[in-house]
Structure 1
Amino acid sequence: MTVLTRAARAAASALLAGALIVGTAGCSFITPTATLNQYDPSDGISTSVGELKIRNALAISNDDNSAVSLMITILNTSTSSGSLRLQYESADGERVDISEPLSADEIKSFGTEVDGEKIVISDAGLVAGQLFPIYFQYGNESGKELLIPVISGDDEIYADLAPASALDE
């Protein structure tokens, strides 16, 4: 009778250990790994148009909301040069095109440094808190529209990157 009890205890222990292992590690078998999810770790948003990568795109408004400065980094990972076309709609409904030449394997940033190159838009009628639709197109690739967040230049992180206010001029 003691042999049967030992066998029953051993079987119960093995069953309990198996249930404990499955119970504590089973979630990792059915739950997707969070580190594999793509996300934008900053205030801006990102996308790719063919071999062109657009990173951390956002618009910084000035004090009186008369203009925004685009803060954007563009990576051309292709072996050929070309032009990036940005298109947006002005406050009066007209489409406005901006073209920026890009060399092969070039990384180009706008609005990321105080004295650096900027793209200032003063005809879109934007206010901090809005989303600014801009269409990005490169070469023969199908373009993509991004809804770029408009952030106030009052924030000390972005204060030096905001365009000059009409009140300052």
Structure 2
Amino acid sequence: MSTTQISAPRRGRRLLAGLSALALPALLSGCALFSPMATENIYNPGDGVSVEIGDVVVRDLVVIGDSEDGPATVSAYVVNNSAEDVTVSFTAAGGSPVEVEVPAGTATQISPAGESGVELESLGVAPGALLPLTVQVGDNPPAEVKTPTVSTENPQYADYGSSSS
């Protein structure tokens, strides 16, 4: 019977290779150790803001207009999680409320103007500023939302301006 003796340097290399194989994944994943996972952060992934009123969620709420005293279009995605149809109203400071009906258990895209669009009489602030917009759903208490405003000069919103402008 013949036995082969492993020399110390070869044994050391094997040990080092084994330890490296175990340590490498830990070292490589350590880069993400201090980075928060994006799925853990609650944020609005669009240009607009969100508000939840009762069983209704208004998402990506943004107002599109080109001048402070000119008409503006409300753009949003309204989700009605209730079993009843609801009326959602949007009111800018000093303006009249504009309403949209959202059937029970559905989601409605509000925009562009002329389709299911909702138009405000005037933007009330310079494009790019935050517009205090009161959102009310049925008999629920209203919510004042600081809503971002954008201009149709932005190519992304060029087709969403007021039909009156």
Task: Bin the TM-score by the shorter chain.
Answer: 0.7 to 0.9
Over aligned residues, Cα RMSD in angstroms? 3.1
Could you say what secondary structure the match of 1:161 adopts? coil
Structure-to-structure mapping, 1:2-81, within 5 angstroms: 2-28=6-32, 31-62=35-66, 65-81=69-85
Residue 160 and residue 20 in structure 1: after superposition, are their counterparts in 2 closer, same or farther (change >3 A)?
A: closer
After TM superposition, give the deviation of residue 144 of structure 1 in Å.
4.0
After TM superposition, give the deviation of residue 121 of structure 1 in Å.
1.7
After TM superposition, give the deviation of residue 5 of structure 1 in Å.
3.6
Give the number of equivalent residue pairs.
160
Q: Tell me, in whole angstroms, the C-alpha distance in 1 between the residues paired with 2:50 and 2:89.
A: 16
In structure 1, list runs of 5 or more residues that go unmatched: none
Deviates more, 1:36-45 or 1:145-154: 36-45
Q: Tell me, in whole angstroms, the C-alpha distance in 2 between the residues paired with 1:18 and 1:143.
A: 58
Give the 4+ runs in structure 1 shifted more than 6 A. none
TM-score relative to the length of structure 1? 0.72
Residue 9 and residue 109 in structure 1: after superposition, are their counterparts in 2 closer, same or farther (change >3 A)?
A: closer
In structure 2, list runs of 5 or more residues that go unmatched: none
Instruction: Give the structure 2 partner of residue 111 of structure 1.
Output: 111
Q: Tell me, in whole angstroms, the C-alpha distance in 2 between the residues paired with 1:20 and 1:143.
A: 55
- Which of the residues 87, 96, 102 maps onto 1:83? 87
After TM superposition, give the deviation of residue 124 of structure 1 in Å.
5.2
TM-score relative to the length of structure 2? 0.73
CA contact (8 A) 1:47 1:54 kept: yes
**Aligned sequence identity (%):** 22
